[in-house]
């Protein structure tokens, strides 16, 4: 069992103009394309998790709470849902979507606004809070684009690719 515990409930949840505020990330790493690490090309892989509420894969994300910054919320969600730690990098953008499972008195129609960040993964935890309900999978970007459950997450992944290309001209960190 993990010593880390996932936060639950909505009493600390942030809202703005009828939107539930959410933070998440696109966790990534580099994998060598060949047997020889020194001469092979580095391939970007992104970490995806399953959803207990339906088919398709997701990036870790969840409610941004009143006692944390948006960056802290994104890091917390990566640990809770995907069991990874690393360096939180730039914000990739904000994405609006409608949640069918998270409608409440402050957002009766379930509208959410998610700030998504790039997260360079440095550690995969053996134990993490949601490991009993989440499986994680490392996928090449092309495979991830076809596996994502939500269109807005595809948009975030496409933005991640543009960001990575602009930020890391030589291909890696």
Compute φ and ψ for 75, nearest 5 degrees. -65, -45
Q: At residue 7, does pLDDT exceed 90?
A: no
pLDDT, tens digit (0-9, with 9 covering 90-100), for 99-152: 866 656 656 578 999 999 999 999 999 999 999 999 999 999 999 999 999 999
pLDDT at 36 over 60: no
Give the pTM: 0.87
Query: What's the rounded Cα separation, in Å, for the pair 95 and 112?
Result: 8
Residues above pLDDT 70, as percent of the chain: 83
How far apart are the C-alpha atoms of 46 and 139, rounded to whole Å?
5
Q: Are 83 and 55 in contact (CB under 8 A)?
A: no
Contact 121, 85 (CB under 8 A): yes
């Amino acid at each position: 069992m993990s010593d880390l515990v996932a936060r639950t409930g909505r009493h600390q949840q942030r809202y703005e103009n009828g939107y539930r505020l959410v933070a998440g990330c696109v966790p990534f790493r580099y994998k060598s394309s060949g047997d020889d690490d020194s001469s092979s090309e580095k391939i970007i892989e992104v970490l995806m998790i399953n959803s207990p509420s339906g088919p398709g894969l997701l990036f870790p994300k969840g409610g941004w709470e009143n006692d944390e910054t948006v960056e802290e919320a994104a890091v917390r969600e990566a640990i809770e849902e995907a069991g990874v730690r690393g360096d939180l990098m730039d914000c990739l953008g904000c994405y609006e979507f409608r949640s069918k499972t998270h409608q409440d008195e402050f957002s009766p129609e379930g509208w959410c606004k998610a700030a998504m960040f790039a997260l360079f993964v440095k550690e995969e935890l053996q134990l993490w809070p949601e490991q009993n309900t989440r499986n994680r999978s490392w996928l090449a970007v092309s495979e991830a684009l076809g596996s994502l459950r939500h269109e807005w997450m595809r948009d975030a992944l496409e933005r991640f690719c543009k960001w990575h290309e602009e930020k890391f001209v030589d291909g890696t960190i």
